[in-house]
């Protein structure tokens, strides 16, 4: 008791000493978040453009709680709602202390300790400022020393308050084969929620990213805007609450729906990271901030090259044998690809994986299809001077499998309820450490037995239903939605520690699992199972708002397309796919001689320009949502190289074509242009091509391009002349 009294005295003394401290300034190159302690409460004073050191606002009082808690005068949605063991539903967060530490040349971590003055309940807020990327990452942690569990009902990663005349929310919706569609609405008084309750494939219908435009809708290059992204692979929630005073409270984090959490004594509850960035120069600058941050600080191997690959899926689906795969491997090598990817269907013996209704979970090589094993395929790739990759879906199981026969208790299920199948499969319970070990060992063993495997496509093809766990205690069933996400990230952390050089693709029935929590352990992701080039223009446009090109897998597929049956020119398909990380499902055996020659040259060209695409700044120019033509370009950091893309989506009689302008170049530099991906027998699409252009001319006057008919396209390589 004396120790507790002494601790309380020290905490109170610390609070008094720090009440009058200087404002807590969390700064990036161009942005600033200012907090202040007033009467022991942590307040947000300011968020926006970076202020001078002598700014008068530094002396202002904070109007908004930096991190709100339920129960003591708070009448809005809150960041934290904890119910103590004695039934008290309120929490007070008094300031205890703050530290700021440098983590590398351009990263600063601010740590703020808060404590309830009555209960031994502690909250720690973290703010990590990425100076050069103009981005702030925040998260929170809770811990207590009460004798019995404290139940958490709300647990936001972060809270942000804004005060403007109006707010416009841009969010992104979708479904299978139609992911990442841009929607914009004005926020009116009340609450707007963007969330998911799917458990897995959590980004299928909504995405955990958004823009908030201040005072008016922002464009690519104009307007005040805040961009937000949450790093969490399971249920999430973004909540936007606007009051009658035109004040906006933003809360984001794990979705508290049906997820109350019994926090035990000394257990640490950590929320996922929320990233946000501010710009007064439109959405495009926010995108570039996120792209540069992801490449530099977040993506696994974010500064490394990527493999261009050929996949067998659309060529064979589940029906293949060694000669068929050997032929595709040889074709991939001749085309100039880096890697061959073996997709679904290679495993299962008692229950062979010849369709999606059996075998999932039995990760032994199918002896009938592949009598010589995976090692033989790896050697075939080595002999053909390319690398080998393989498909896995280790979080899932078919009821028709040996795994399910041995461990029916390992799947997510409710007692006394029938299983509900989707795609003939169930979800393994990653809240269970034994299941986590199984998933890890599945991947680990395969990679150890075949050390030359260079690439893994990690799929996840269904959401959680019947959300219950045979592992969790009855009073902790609501933990499942949180513990599943934690379990997945724990497995990936172990996989990455043991196999840091293997490249991993993040897939979720297409773009159903695309979040920065997962991407921390992956090199790249699959945006959609829909490879139709026209729809990919829109899907990739949406993805580019927050995710960099180096991580976005874009494949050339067959015509007519297998998903939409649309027929598009091979050039259009290549031009669209070459704006991200190039791959191909189209098989050379279905192409004529001219098409094969075109594809080979396009792949060689891509290898020459891909560094600009991977590391350059993206500028979106003409939006497919607003025009019959979509244009964009990447510009290298030194502004000495660029790649420009123009896609005609629809053609209309007597339509006047615009001059096609670029962005992001140095106005004073001189550039030469080279049209790439010209199909044999076709001429240049540029009218009156000159030898040199200034950057100012290309950005302000623009070029005349001949784009005729639906699905015509142009790609230009731009290089500085010295």
Give yes or no: 459 in active site.
yes
- Considering Cα of 51, then 56, then 58, then 62, what sign does the dihedral take? negative
Considering the chain, what percentage of its residues have pLDDT values greater than 90?
91
**Distance separating alpha carbons of residues 554 and 512, to the nearest angstrom:** 16
pLDDT band at 653 (very low <50, low <70, confident <90, very high): confident
pLDDT band at 14 (very low <50, low <70, confident <90, very high): very low
pLDDT of residue 56: 66
**Distance separating alpha carbons of residues 546 and 531, to the nearest angstrom:** 20
Copy the structure tokens of residue 636: 């290298």
Give yes or no: 493 in active site.
no
pLDDT band at 690 (very low <50, low <70, confident <90, very high): confident
Asked if residues 662 and 591 have their Cβ atoms less than 8 Å apart, the reply is: no
pLDDT band at 688 (very low <50, low <70, confident <90, very high): confident
**Across 301-315, 398-412, 641-655, least confident range:** 641-655
pLDDT of residue 685: 83
**CB under 8 Å to 650, separation ≥6 — which residues?**
628, 710
**Distance separating alpha carbons of residues 248 and 185, to the nearest angstrom:** 15
pLDDT of residue 55: 66
pLDDT of residue 60: 80
Mean pLDDT computed over 473-486: 98
Neighbours of 710 (CB within 10 A): 16
pLDDT tens profile 446-459:
999 999 999 999 99
**Distance separating alpha carbons of residues 259 and 236, to the nearest angstrom:** 11
**Distance separating alpha carbons of residues 482 and 267, to the nearest angstrom:** 15
**Do strands 524-525 and 503-506 pair parallel, antiparallel, or not at all (unpaired)?**
parallel
Ordered by start, the domain boundaries in the chain are 2-297, 309-617, 620-720
Locate tokens 């891509």: which residue?
Answer: 606
Asked if residues 397 and 410 have their Cβ atoms less than 8 Å apart, the reply is: yes
Q: Which of 459, 483, 585, 712 is catalytic?
A: 459
Asked if residues 481 and 235 have their Cβ atoms less than 8 Å apart, the reply is: yes
Q: Is the pLDDT of residue 18 over 70?
A: no
Asked if residues 472 and 406 have their Cβ atoms less than 8 Å apart, the reply is: no
Q: What is the pTM of this model?
A: 0.96
Q: Is residue 436 helix, strand or coil? A: helix
pLDDT of residue 57: 74
Copy the structure tokens of residue 421: 């199948």
- Choose the CATH number for 2-297 among 3.50.50.60, 2.120.10.30, 2.70.98.60, 2.30.30.100: 2.70.98.60
**Distance separating alpha carbons of residues 52 and 35, to the nearest angstrom:** 16
Q: Is the pLDDT of residue 17 over 60?
A: no
Mean pLDDT computed over 650-655: 84
Locate tokens 């499902």: which residue?
Answer: 585
SS (H, E, C) 612-654: HHHHCEEEEEECCCCCCEEEEEEECCCCCEEEEEEEECCCCCC
Residue (of 551, 526, 557) closest to 539 by Cα position = 526
Locate tokens 């307040």: which residue?
Answer: 43
**Distance separating alpha carbons of residues 464 and 357, to the nearest angstrom:** 18
Q: What is the fold, at CATH topology level, of the domain defined by 620-720?
A: Immunoglobulin-like (2.60.40)
Who wins on pLDDT, 655 or 230?
230
pLDDT band at 21 (very low <50, low <70, confident <90, very high): low
Q: Is the pLDDT of residue 20 over 60?
A: no
pLDDT of residue 73: 86
pLDDT band at 22 (very low <50, low <70, confident <90, very high): confident
Residue (of 631, 623, 624, 573) closest to 602 by Cα position = 573
**Distance separating alpha carbons of residues 506 and 201, to the nearest angstrom:** 11
- Helices 373-383 and 322-335 pack at an angle, to 10 degrees, of 30
Q: Is the pLDDT of residue 390 over 50?
A: yes
Q: Is the pLDDT of residue 529 over 80?
A: yes
CA-to-CA dists, residue 269 to 121, 266, 431, 469, 483, angstroms: 12, 10, 15, 20, 11
Mean pLDDT computed over 248-265: 98
Asked if residues 376 and 322 have their Cβ atoms less than 8 Å apart, the reply is: yes
CATH architecture of 309-617: Alpha-Beta Barrel (3.20)
Asked if residues 536 and 564 have their Cβ atoms less than 8 Å apart, the reply is: no
**CB under 8 Å to 700, separation ≥6 — which residues?**
661
pLDDT tens profile 407-427:
999 999 999 999 999 999 999
pLDDT tens profile 193-203:
999 999 999 99
Copy the structure tokens of residue 342: 């073996």
Considering the chain, what percentage of its residues have pLDDT values greater than 70?
97
Mean pLDDT computed over 82-109: 97
Rg over CA atoms, the chain: 27
pLDDT band at 654 (very low <50, low <70, confident <90, very high): confident
Mean pLDDT computed over 33-45: 96
Locate tokens 């978040």: which residue?
Answer: 33
Mean pLDDT computed over 676-696: 87
Q: Which of 134, 362, 529, 532 is catalytic?
A: 529
Both ends of the chain: CA-CA distance in Å?
A: 76
**CB under 8 Å to 5, separation ≥6 — which residues?**
none
Q: Is the pLDDT of residue 5 over 70?
A: no
The tally of CA atoms less than 13 A away on the side-chain side of residue 4 is: 8
Mean of pLDDT over the chain: 95
**Distance separating alpha carbons of residues 151 and 236, to the nearest angstrom:** 19
Q: Where are the beta strands (DSSP E) in 337-394?
A: 339-342, 387-392
């Amino acid at each position: 008791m004396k120790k507790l009294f002494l601790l309380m005295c020290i905490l109170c003394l610390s609070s008094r000493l720090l009440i009058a401290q200087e404002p807590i300034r969390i700064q990036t190159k161009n942005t600033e978040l200012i907090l202040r302690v007033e009467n022991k409460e942590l307040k947000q004073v300011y968020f926006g453009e970076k202020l001078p050191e002598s700014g008068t606002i530094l002396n202002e009082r904070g109007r908004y709680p930096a991190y709100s808690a339920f129960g003591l005068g708070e009448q809005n949605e809150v960041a934290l709602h904890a119910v103590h063991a004695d039934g008290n539903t309120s929490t007070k967060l008094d300031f205890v202390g703050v530290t700021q530490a440098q983590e590398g040349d351009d990263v600063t971590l601010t740590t703020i300790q808060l404590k309830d003055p009555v209960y031994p309940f502690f909250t720690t807020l973290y703010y990590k400022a990425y100076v050069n990327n103009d981005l702030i990452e925040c998260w929170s942690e809770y811990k207590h020393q009460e004798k019995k569990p404290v139940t958490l009902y709300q647990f936001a990663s972060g809270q942000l308050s804004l005060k403007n005349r109006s707010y416009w929310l841009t969010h992104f919706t979708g479904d299978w084969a139609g992911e990442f569609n841009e929607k914009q609405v004005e926020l009116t008084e009340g609450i707007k929620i963007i969330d998911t309750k799917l458990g897995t494939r959590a980004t299928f219908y909504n995405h955990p990213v958004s823009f908030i435009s201040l005072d008016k809708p922002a464009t690519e290059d104009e307007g005040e805007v805040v961009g937000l992204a949450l790093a969490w692979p399971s249920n999430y929630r973004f909540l936007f609450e606007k009051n009658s005073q035109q004040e906006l409270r933003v809360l984001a984090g794990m979705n508290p729906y049906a997820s109350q959490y019994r926090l035990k004594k000394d257990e640490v509850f950590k929320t996922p990271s929320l990233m946000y960035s501010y710009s007064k120069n439109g959405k495009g600058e926010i995108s570039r901030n996120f792209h540069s941050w992801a490449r530099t600080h977040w993506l696994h191997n974010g500064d490394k090259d990527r493999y261009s690959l050929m996949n067998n899926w659309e060529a064979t689906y589940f029906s293949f044998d060694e000669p068929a795969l050997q032929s595709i491997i040889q074709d991939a090598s001749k085309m100039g690809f880096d890697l061959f990817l073996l997709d679904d269907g290679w495993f299962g013996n008692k229950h062979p994986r010849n369709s999606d209704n059996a075998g999932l979970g039995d990760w032994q090589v199918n002896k009938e299809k592949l009598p010589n094993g995976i090692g033989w395929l790896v050697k075939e790739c080595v002999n053909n001077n390319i690398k080998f990759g393989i498909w896995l879906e280790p979080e899932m199981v078919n009821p028709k499998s040996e795994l399910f026969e041995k461990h029916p208790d390992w799947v997510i299920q409710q007692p006394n309820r029938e299983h509900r199948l989707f795609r003939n499969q169930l979800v393994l319970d990653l809240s269970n450490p034994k299941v986590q070990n199984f998933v890890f060992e599945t991947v680990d063993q395969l990679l150890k037995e075949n050390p030359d495997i260079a690439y893994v496509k990690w799929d996840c093809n269904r959401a959680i239903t019947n959300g219950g766990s045979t592992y969790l205690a009855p009073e902790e069933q609501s933990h499942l939605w949180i513990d599943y996400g934690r379990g997945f990230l724990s497995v990936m952390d172990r996989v990455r520690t043991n196999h840091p050089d293997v490249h991993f693709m993040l897939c979720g029935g297409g773009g159903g699992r695309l979040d920065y929590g997962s991407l921390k352990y992956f090199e790249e992701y699959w945006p959609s199972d829909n490879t139709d080039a026209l729809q990919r223009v829109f899907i990739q446009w949406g993805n580019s708002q927050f995710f960099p090109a180096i991580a976005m897998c874009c494949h050339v597929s067959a015509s007519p397309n297998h998903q939409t049956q649309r027929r598009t020119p091979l050039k259009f398909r290549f031009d669209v796919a070459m704006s991200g990380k190039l791959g191909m499902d189209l098989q050379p055996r279905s192409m004529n001689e001219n098409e094969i020659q075109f594809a080979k040259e396009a792949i060689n060209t891509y290898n020459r320009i891909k560094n600009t695409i991977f590391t350059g700044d993206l500028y979106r120019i003409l939006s497919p949502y607003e025009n019959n033509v979509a244009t964009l370009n990447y510009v290298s950091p030194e502004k000495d190289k660029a790649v420009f893309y123009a896609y005609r989506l629809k053609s209309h009689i007597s339509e006047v074509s615009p001059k096609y302008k670029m962005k992001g170049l140095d106005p004073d530099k001189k550039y030469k242009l080279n049209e790439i991906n010209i199909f044999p027998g076709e001429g240049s699409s540029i009218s009156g091509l000159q030898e040199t252009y200034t950057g100012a001319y290309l950005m302000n006057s623009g070029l005349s391009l001949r784009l005729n008919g639906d699905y015509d396209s142009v790609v230009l390589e731009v290089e500085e002349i010295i």
